[in-house]
Amino acid sequence: MDVELLEIRQHMGRFPPFDHLSDELLDEVAGKVEVAYFKAGSDILVLDQEVHELYYIRSGAVEVYRRGGELYNRLGEGDIFGHFSLLRHRRTRFPAKALEDTLLYFIPEAVFHQLCEADEHFADFVEVARPRLETAVEQQKKQNDMMITRVRKLVTRYPVMVEATTTVQEAARLITDYQASAVLVLDAPGDNPRYTFRDSEGRAWQVRGILTDSDFRNRVVAEGRPADTPVGEVIGGRLVAIQSDESVHEAMLCMLRNNIHHLPVMHRRSPVGIVHLSDIIRYETHSSLYLVSNIFHQSSSEGLARLTPDVHEAFVRMIEDGADSQMVGSALSTIGRSVSRRLLELAEQELGPPPVPYCLMALGSMARNEQSIVTDQDNALVLSDDFDPARHDDYFLTLAQRLSDGLAACGYAYCKGDIMATNPQWRQPLAVWKRYFRDWILDPTPERLLHSSIFFDLDSVYGDNMLVEQLQDLVASEAARHPRFLAAMARNALNRTPPLGFFRTFVMEKDGKHNNIINLKRRGTAPMVDLIRVHALACGSRAQNSFDRLDDIDRTQLLAPGVGDRLRYALEFLSMARIRHQVIDIKHERPPDNNIEPENVSDTERHNLKDAFQVLSNAQKFLKFRYPMPSRSH
């Protein structure tokens, strides 16, 4: 490598997509760049200019515009541009200007195409084969499969090992010194090559067996053996061990099958640790499955509230095990639903059975099975039409208060918009609820619907499910037939817009202004969910989950081919980014929120986020066009 090119290759090697290139390719690129300086304010690319190079920003900043002069992107050190035109062999449609004094590297067309050929990651980044976002989401999924938890994850230290000639007293002393509960017993290699290995000094050993705490009781003391008995005489017959790449689940089954509490873990033929049954139990305690069953074992709302740290643990664990946003959303919703259910069961035990049938209705994220760790309670009671306020409302008010206070104690904040069953407006018989929905659908204005969109994600949680299902039927059959309603919903879905992207350590807005922080729910997932809801209502879908809704939308001609997938990938990426940053918050013992700070966003993540914002922005434009407000006379 030419040492004089180190300056260039080291710089490029720090930024995507060059950061994944082999050293060999990187040298090749560095040796072929051309360089030029652009004064702030000068044109770099003008409209319709032929593009024969990839542009790389070595220092300074560049602004890229749309044909109409609207800001398209602001780029800084390490960013590239010009690849759109290069890939499509056409003149530039995005003029570029130096925002600051800028030094550019030019990578010749031939080298660019060579990189696309030679490096899949590079090609994905510049979107040769397929959109970058799709690739990013699938990479996350791929990690999933690899991350089925292996038993080696439970191994925290190397096993204590003794020779077969060691006395039981010496072995007991070692176990005490190391605060262990078992030792492995080694002998010269013999009959079993499966457990024969070489230690760090090259000596060959065979693992003969394991001696545990209980063996000292059962095989030494109870049988009256002297303290100088060699351990080799005490250990049992066949050794049961497990390979380190087996799953935790398999380890648990193995213990149950053989009725043992200690399981040596082997990497090929060498022992790497000992797993105890309690390690597995401790591990399982943090799984969401265990958590849900635990919720139903609680006998008081205080007991439920004490599970809140476990919910956070389970959340972090799921992400570390490679769960995607749908798995996380549905697990947290299941936990939320279980807590609600249990609170109502406990309240009923105390207050007596309900005077008339009712159903607890979840609204918003819980109804969509997309709950996050940062969530407030959005619920309502749908009562049987036999409900008589004078006679029955005291009961349901008390029930609603128990629920609401209990949820608040478990970390589900009171709803700021007062969409809770404690509000008499949202504690009504089915007939009244039907009237609410008909009013919203038949006589809509954007203002009236402003705070009502949440009611169009609805699902039953507990009680007489039929009550809520009737409302779901009503929405599914009526909404699609009322263009004014869809138009009003579409209008409101445009109230929250994504930013343009990131620039250095700022969030960049479409007007070029900078912010230090972005609320990824308000600016990303929520507007995405809003627009998917409008399309779902338009095609009469009964689904509540956004991904299920997209499946229903895909079965219609509502969106151009491929758009559904783009929305799916964008939503998945935005949701996961939000979740990942909540995990960061929890790990730093900060209360998790929906904000991300640009300085915590990796280069690759910011490129993907920018793409996701772009997908959202385009989808919002289409929404406006697809659901126009019909004039009154129609």
Q: Does residue 32 interact with other proteins by CB under 8 A? A: yes
Residue 386: count other Cβ atoms within 10 Å of its Cβ: 11
Written as one letter, the residue type at 543 is A
Phi then psi for residue 197, to 5 deg, are -145, 170
Cβ 334 vs Cβ 366: under 8 Å: no
How many positions of this chain bind other proteins (CB under 8 A)? 24
Q: Which of 15, 106, 414, 622 binds other proteins (CB under 8 A)?
A: 106
Quick one: angle between helices 526-538 and 546-554, nearest 10? 40
Judged by CB, which is closer to other proteins: 13, or 230?
A: 13
Q: Does residue 76 interact with other proteins by CB under 8 A? A: no
Judged by CB, which is closer to other proteins: 105, or 456?
A: 105
Nearest distance from C-beta of residue 78 to other proteins, angstroms: 12
Nearest distance from C-beta of residue 534 to other proteins, angstroms: 47
Positions of E strands within 142-217: 161-163, 182-187, 196-198, 204-212
Nearest distance from C-beta of residue 14 to other proteins, angstroms: 13
Nearest distance from C-beta of residue 43 to other proteins, angstroms: 12
Nearest distance from C-beta of residue 7 to other proteins, angstroms: 5
Judged by CB, which is closer to other proteins: 107, or 274?
A: 107
Which of 17-25, 57-65, 294-302, 468-476 is the region at the interface with other proteins (rule: CB under 8 A)?
A: 57-65
What is the DSSP code (8-state) at residue 415?
Answer: P
Judged by CB, which is closer to other proteins: 61, or 419?
A: 61
What the block records as the tokens of 564 is 């559904």
Nearest distance from C-beta of residue 75 to other proteins, angstroms: 15
Q: Does residue 35 interact with other proteins by CB under 8 A? A: yes
H-helix or E-strand containing 141?
helix 132-146
Q: Does residue 43 interact with other proteins by CB under 8 A? A: no
Nearest distance from C-beta of residue 26 to other proteins, angstroms: 15
What the block records as the tokens of 116 is 């696309």
Quote the CA–CA distance of 188 and 538 in Å, as a whole number. Answer: 75
Quote the CA–CA distance of 333 and 366 in Å, as a whole number. Answer: 5
Omega cis (within 30) before 17: yes
Q: Which of 12, 21, 25, 33 binds other proteins (CB under 8 A)?
A: 33
What the block records as the tokens of 313 is 């643990």
Closest CA to 127 of 616, 546, 615: 615
Written as one letter, the residue type at 361 is M
Q: Does residue 542 interact with other proteins by CB under 8 A? A: no
Quote the CA–CA distance of 540 and 227 in Å, as a whole number. Answer: 79
Judged by CB, which is closer to other proteins: 29, or 252?
A: 29
Q: Does residue 50 interact with other proteins by CB under 8 A? A: no
Quote the CA–CA distance of 473 and 495 in Å, as a whole number. Answer: 28
Q: Which of 22, 23, 42, 448 binds other proteins (CB under 8 A)?
A: 42
Closest CA to 367 of 469, 436, 497, 448: 469
Judged by CB, which is closer to other proteins: 7, or 473?
A: 7
Which of 16-24, 25-33, 356-364, 508-516 is the region at the interface with other proteins (rule: CB under 8 A)?
A: 25-33
For residue 286, give every residue at least 6 positions away whose Cβ sits within 8 Å of its Cβ, in sequence order, or none: 310, 313, 314, 317
Query: Helix, strand, or coil here: 44?
Result: strand
H-helix or E-strand containing 537?
helix 526-538
3-state helix, strand, coil in the chain (%, to 5): 50, 15, 35
Which of 96-104, 409-417, 449-457, 502-510 is the region at the interface with other proteins (rule: CB under 8 A)?
A: 96-104
Q: Which of 15, 20, 27, 31 binds other proteins (CB under 8 A)?
A: 31
Q: Does residue 225 interact with other proteins by CB under 8 A? A: no
Quick one: angle between helices 563-587 and 603-626, nearest 10? 130
Judged by CB, which is closer to other proteins: 7, or 394?
A: 7
What is the DSSP code (8-state) at residue 549?
Answer: H
Nearest distance from C-beta of residue 630 to other proteins, angstroms: 55
What the block records as the tokens of 458 is 């609805």
Q: Does residue 37 interact with other proteins by CB under 8 A? A: yes
Q: Does residue 15 interact with other proteins by CB under 8 A? A: no
Nearest distance from C-beta of residue 42 to other proteins, angstroms: 7
Q: Does residue 60 interact with other proteins by CB under 8 A? A: yes
Nearest distance from C-beta of residue 563 to other proteins, angstroms: 41
Nearest distance from C-beta of residue 5 to other proteins, angstroms: 8
Nearest distance from C-beta of residue 64 to other proteins, angstroms: 19
Judged by CB, which is closer to other proteins: 34, or 233?
A: 34
For residue 176, give every residue at least 6 positions away whose Cβ sits within 8 Å of its Cβ, in sequence order, or none: none
Judged by CB, which is closer to other proteins: 37, or 178?
A: 37
User: What is the β-pairing status of strands 53-59 and 80-81?
Assistant: antiparallel
- Measure the CA dihedral 231/232/238/244, to 10°: 60
Which of 5-13, 19-27, 352-360, 434-442 is the region at the interface with other proteins (rule: CB under 8 A)?
A: 5-13
**Would you tell me which residues interact with other proteins (CB under 8 A)?**
2-4, 7-8, 11, 31-39, 42, 58-60, 100-103, 106
